[in-house]
Amino acid sequence: MNTRFLCDRHLGKLAKWLRILGYDTLWNPADMSQDFLRRGGRDGRIALTRKRDLEGVGLDRLIVVKADRVDEQIGEILDKLALTPDPKDRLTLCLRCNATLEAVVKEGMEGAVPAHVYQNNTCFRRCPICGRIYWRGTHTRNVEEFLRRHIPTHPP
């Protein structure tokens, strides 16, 4: 089974990047309780938190994230868990909902995305929950640029 995560309130940016990399990641901006983090652990998720006082409270599957910048945080987690994200998994989850994106036929996208996006892309995906549309062109380039720049130990 793929590694899945749960992020505390302070790690919204990290949650988004883990989703970009294809890791199923829950993030609840409202709930910071130990119970939320425990529930994630029971669910087979690795809980990520910024709360240093949670270190050593007996929660297994909990990582206290030390780095401040999101790029360093990603590196920290990938290193700690010896994970190498599969490029095939990139941008398969909605960044907002964490839902698995569905492939949609190009024809149906005319008018739903900007004209130049429609013209320059063949592959579109849609979130079944929020309806947001993703296309590989722009998003993938941005992601790969970010990874190249910030995570040299994990080249795309």
Our CB check for Zn ion shows the closer of 127 and 151 to be: 127
Q: How far is the CB of 130 from Zn ion (least distance, A)?
A: 3
Helical pair 136-150 and 70-81, crossing angle rounded to 10 deg: 80
Our CB check for Zn ion shows the closer of 132 and 154 to be: 132
Q: How far is the CB of 16 from Zn ion (least distance, A)?
A: 12
The alpha carbon torsion through 103, 105, 106, 112 (nearest 10 deg) reads -80
Residue 48 CA to residue 15 CA, distance in Å, equals: 9
Q: How far is the CB of 6 from Zn ion (least distance, A)?
A: 18
Our CB check for Zn ion shows the closer of 24 and 151 to be: 24
Q: How far is the CB of 112 from Zn ion (least distance, A)?
A: 15
| Largest interatomic CA distance in the chain | 54
Our CB check for Zn ion shows the closer of 45 and 125 to be: 125
β pairing state of 124-126 and 133-135:
antiparallel
Give me the residues that bind Zn ion (CB under 5 A), please: 94, 96-97, 127, 129-130, 132
Q: Of the candidates 61, 88, 82, 53, which has an alpha carbon nearest to the alpha carbon of residue 6?
A: 61
